[in-house]
Amino acid sequence: MTALLDLICPAGSLPALKAAVDHGADGVYLGLKDNTNARNFAGLNFDAKTLAEGIRYAHAKGRKVLMALNTYPQPDTLARWHAAVDTAAATGVDAIILADPGLMAYARKHHPDLRLHLSVQGSATSYEAVNFYRERFGIQRAVLPRVLSLAQVENVVNHTDVEIELFGFGGLCVMVEGRCLLSSYACGDSPNTFGACSPGHAVRWQQTPQGMETRLNGILIDRYADDEKAGYPTLCKGRFAVNGETYYALEEPTSLNSLEFLPEMARLGIAAIKIEGRQRSPAYVAQVTKVWRAAIDAVKRAPETFKAQPAWLAELAKVSEGSMNTLGAYYRPWK
Q: What is the DSSP string of 263-324?
A: HHHHHHT--EEEE--TTS-HHHHHHHHHHHHHHHHHHHH-GGG----HHHHHHHHHTSGGG-
CA distances from 28 to 33, 214, 235, 276 (A): 16, 32, 28, 11
Give the integer Cα–Cα distance in Å for 112 and 129. 22
Give the integer Cα–Cα distance in Å for 279 and 171. 11
Question: Where are the chain's structural domains?
Answer: 6-172+254-330, 187-247
CA distances from 100 to 120, 145, 306 (A): 11, 15, 39
Which has the higher per-residue pLDDT, 240 or 108?
Answer: 108
User: Helices (DSSP H) in 165-215: which residue ranges?
Assistant: 182-187, 191-194
Average pLDDT taken over every residue of the chain: 93
Burial class (CB in 10 A: 0-12, 13-18, 19+), 272: buried
Q: What pLDDT score was predicted for residue 290?
A: 98
252 and 237 in contact (C-beta within 8 Å)? yes
Question: Which residues face 214 on adjacent strands?
Answer: 205, 222
Give the integer Cα–Cα distance in Å for 239 and 165. 32
What does the pLDDT look like over 48-60, one tens digit per residue?
A: 999 999 999 999 9
What does the pLDDT look like over 154-203, one tens digit per residue?
A: 999 999 999 999 999 998 877 777 777 788 888 888 888 888 888 888 99
149 and 171 in contact (C-beta within 8 Å)? no
Which has the higher per-residue pLDDT, 324 or 160?
Answer: 160
Contacts of 133 (CB under 8 A, 6+ apart): 101, 104, 118, 122, 124, 139, 142, 162
Q: What pLDDT score was predicted for residue 1?
A: 36
What does the pLDDT look like over 242-279, one tens digit per residue?
A: 999 999 888 888 889 999 999 999 999 999 999 999 99
44 and 24 in contact (C-beta within 8 Å)? no
What does 84-119 look like in DSSP terms, one character per residue?
HHHHHHHHT-SEEEE--HHHHHHHHHH-TTS-EEE-
Q: State mean pLDDT over 21-32.
A: 98
Superfamily of domain 6-172+254-330: Aldolase class I (3.20.20.70)
Q: pLDDT > 70: what percent of the chain?
A: 98
